[in-house]
Amino acid sequence: MVRFLRHVIIDTDPGVDDALALILALKSPEIKVEAVTTVVGNVSQDKAHRNALKILDFLNACEIPVARGAHKPLIREASHAEEIHGESGLGEAMLPEPRIRSSEASAVNLILEKAYELGRGPTLVALGPLTNVASAILAEPRLVDMVAGLVFMGGAYNLTPYGYGNVTPVAEFNIWHDPEAAKIVFESGIPLKAVGLDITANPSNSLTLDRYQEIDRLGTRRSRLVADLCRGLIKRFGIVQLHDPIAVAVASNPDLVETGRFFVEVETAGLLTRGQTVLDRRPRQPIERRPNLEICLSLDSERFMKLFMERVVYE
């Protein structure tokens, strides 16, 4: 069967779930990872970049260029989440210093280079704040027509019982961390597919204690890494939310989700509402408020978890 191979560029802030997502991406035959760019978010740019190099090195994916991106949001100061991801950003995982070297290009330049190079249009997959993506669009506005689109983990859309915020009552971390970047991306015209907390905060789509214990018992090189990544979150929360792996799975297997199209704006001025993703669901909207986001409404949880375990843990 001829598979449609999606060329993807992954922008990421590893981060425990980002690390799991990178493994999933590299073990998904439906996609070819053309480049990885790192963004400040869960941890500093330096830590995120080193973690991305370590994960790719662990998987011997030495041919994939990894470029450094933003050290801080477009306007605001960075605010990390090491209380969630651990001081290193990779939980309890201890990986050797990477053998592979960083790309000479910046994240923005590598994104643009790959977009120019891959005529068929790569898909951007953003797993962290949208700082690098916004910067690339500002540098080259034609990027919105040079890529197939952007699949991103971000937002809380109140479209399911889990669609409330995580970093605040109304905002999801990736959008909250750089709301100005998200606003630029949402208004750019780039085709957008949002994987929000509505899906990723659903316990049916998370790694449960039972699954963790199954992984921890395996004792293989890969399962030990996954267990080390997840152990701290399991100890603390009894569950690991798989935000970024779900976004990668949506990019590789779009039929895993059902979606709806909505007009969405990003709150950038509010104190309590910073980073809130505001849907306009009123009927008969004026043309300038036509839908700009395709939002995931449901996920085939069983198929996703099978795919996650087979590709991330067992292979």
What are the E-state strand segments in the chain? 6-12, 31-38, 66-68, 123-126, 149-153, 192-195, 207-208, 239-240, 257-266, 277-280, 293-299
91 in contact with ligand RIB (CB under 6 A): no
Return the residue of 13, 178, 228, 294 that touches ligand RIB, per CB under 6 A.
Answer: 13
Evaluate whether 276 touches 266 at the Cβ level (below 8 Å).
yes
- Smallest distance, Å, CB 251 to ligand RIB? 14
Using the rule CB under 6 A, is 228 a contact of ligand RIB? no
177 is catalytic: no
Query: Under 8 Å CB-to-CB from 207, ≥6 apart: which residues?
Result: 230, 234, 239, 240, 242
Our CB check for ligand RIB shows the closer of 89 and 191 to be: 89
Looking at 12-20, 267-275, 285-293, 294-302, which segment touches ligand RIB (CB under 6 A)?
A: 12-20
Choice from 11, 18, 34, 228 touching Ca ion (CB under 5 A): 18
Residue 38 · residue 49 · CB < 8 Å: yes
Q: Does 11 bind ligand RIB (CB under 6 A)?
A: no
Least distance CB 154 / ligand RIB (angstroms): 7
According to CB under 6 A, which residues from 243 to 262 bind ligand RIB? 243-244
| Among 11, 172, 228, 267, contact with ligand RIB (rule: CB under 6 A) | 172
d(CA 112, CA 66) in angstroms, rounded, equals 14
Phi-psi map region of 178: left, alpha, beta (phi>0 left; psi -120 to 50 alpha): beta
For the bound state, the minimum distance from the C-beta of residue 21 to ligand RIB, rounded and expressed in Å, comes to: 8
Rounded CA-CA distance 147/134 in Å is 14
* Residue 127: CB atoms within 10 Å: 31
CB of 131 to ligand RIB, least distance (A): 12
**Can you tell me which of 37, 45, 135, 166 binds ligand RIB, judged by CB under 6 A?**
166
37 or 174: CB nearest ligand RIB: 174
For position 130 contacting ligand RIB by CB under 6 A, the verdict is: no
CA separation for the pair 127, 104 (Å, rounded): 22
Reference 122, options 23, 37, 34, 198; nearest CA is 34
Contacts by 219-225, CB closer than 8 A, 24 or more apart: 222/23, 222/312, 222/313, 222/314, 222/315, 223/313, 223/314, 225/58, 225/93, 225/95
Distance CA 18, CA 36 (A): 11
Min dist CB 191 to ligand RIB, Å, is: 20
- Binding segment (CB under 6 A) for ligand RIB, from list 171-179, 248-256, 278-286, 289-297: 171-179
- Residue 178 binding partner per list ligand RIB, Ca ion, none, with a CB distance cut-off of 5 to 8 Å that depends on partner kind: none
Please, what is the minimum distance in Å from the beta carbon of residue 42 to Ca ion? Answer: 6
Report d(CA 264, CA 254) in Å as an integer.
21
List 126, 127, 137, 279, residue binding Ca ion (CB under 5 A): 127
Q: Does 74 bind ligand RIB (CB under 6 A)?
A: no
- Rounded distance, CA 265 to CA 275, Å? 10
- Told to check if 198 binds Ca ion by CB under 5 A, we report no
Q: Among 128, 179, 245, 275, which residue sits at the site for ligand RIB (rule: CB under 6 A)?
A: 128
Give the Cα separation of 245 and 206 in Å (integer).
Answer: 10
Residues that bind ligand RIB (CB under 6 A): 13, 15, 17-18, 41-42, 127-128, 153, 166, 172-174, 243-244
Residues that bind Ca ion (CB under 5 A): 13, 15, 18, 127-128, 244
Name the residues annotated as catalytic.
243
